[in-house]
Amino acid sequence: MTLSKAYVVIAKEHGNLQLAWELSSQIRNCQRLLSQSAVRGKPISLEEAHPIISRLARLIYKAQDLHYDISTTITTLKNHVQVLEERANAATVQSARFGQLAAGALPKASTA
């Protein structure tokens, strides 16, 4: 499912919204199956899992045929991590600035 989620991102970046939608749909089906199994407290049977896993596998092969290979996936994910790190750093700096502004706006305590 992790690889499928990565391919959703890559498909969207390449403008292949149909593949992204199909992958997302199958990921939801897998999650639903796992959730149902957890609720009933029984393992998933082969009959339940096989059609869902087969469809997801076909979509993964389709993504690979579209040259969304592992190196492309890794590069894309690294780029996403870098962007998220930059956003986190910017948010930290902004938070520190807001803290300084708030501290300056508070009235000074008088010592009497």
Q: DSSP letter string over 28-94?
A: HHHHHHHHHHHHHTSPPPHHHHHHHHHHHHHHHHHHHHTT--HHHHHHHHHHHHHHHHHHHHHHHHH
pLDDT computed for residue 23 by the predictor? 94
| Distance separating alpha carbons of residues 108 and 23, to the nearest angstrom | 58
pLDDT computed for residue 51 by the predictor? 92
pLDDT computed for residue 10 by the predictor? 85
pLDDT computed for residue 111 by the predictor? 61
Share of the chain above pLDDT 70, in %: 95
User: 17: pLDDT confidence band, cut at 50, 70 and 90?
Assistant: very high
| Sequence letter at residue 93 | V
Instruction: Extract the tokens encoding 28.
Output: 């939801």
| Sequence letter at residue 7 | Y
Question: Is the pLDDT at 107 greater than 70, yes or no?
Answer: yes
Instruction: Extract the tokens encoding 12.
Output: 């969207």
Q: Where are the domains of the chain?
A: 2-77
